[in-house]
Amino acid sequence: MQNAAVVQAIVGLITAAVWITYLHVFVESMRRGRRSEILITLGGDRGLSGRMLVSNLGLEPIYVLDIMLTVHAKSGRRSLSVADRTEIAPSEQTSTDRATLQQPLKSGEYVEIGTIDILLDRAARQFRTARHDPDLACIEVTVAAVTAAASGIVAARRVFDVEHSEGRLTLRPKTLYAEQIRNRRGRQRIERQLADTL
């Protein structure tokens, strides 16, 4: 009886700690479930015929707003949108998916955005210059999307070093996974890039 108040206080503190831990786990699981996860991978060949894939690994569906290709070469650095399938003639763009890569992706879905060769052709067509592959040093692919779970855009980036060997180009990813751009400054920079393409 003499220690009842002390025991009761200790039990109360332990109970409060358990509830706080449960609340923290619950909140984190909700945040993780609403967090976007965009995967950018190179499938098949590691050269120009390799196919670039964009997958939605988040639990929420996303809508792909744009796909930016940044080409680093000896002559400088250039960025532009490669979301439109310019390699397909307008007369053959009989459906939306044959005209553009802007589309919704459910959880677990993916879209092939083209081979490296096609992406570089799209870039050269927009730059209105001839391709000069020997100058390539690095290729960066950035995917910008929107989701109902976030108030702004969500984005991911993956960088591939270009290695030249016996007249053949080989792409080596710098990281194992795509970098998820979640901080405010990074997302604002992507939004400015998108605004510049309008």
Token match 């879209």: residue? Answer: 111
- Alpha carbon separation from 14 to 3, 28, 124, 133, 156 (Å, rounded): 17, 21, 65, 65, 42
* Same-domain check for residues 64 and 146: yes
Domain count, the chain: 2
Residues of the chain below pLDDT 70: 1-3, 26-34, 130, 198
- 71 and 10 share one domain: no
143: how many CB neighbours lie within 10 A of its CB? 29
User: Is the same domain home to 111 and 13?
Assistant: no
Domain of residue 69, residue span:
36-196
Residue 122 is encoded by which pair of tokens? 């799209």
Q: What is the pLDDT of residue 142?
A: 94
pLDDT at 112 (0 to 100): 93
Report the CATH number at residue 50: 2.60.40
pLDDT score recorded for residue 26: 67
112 and 152 together in one domain: yes
The reported pTM is 0.79
Same-domain check for residues 85 and 123: yes
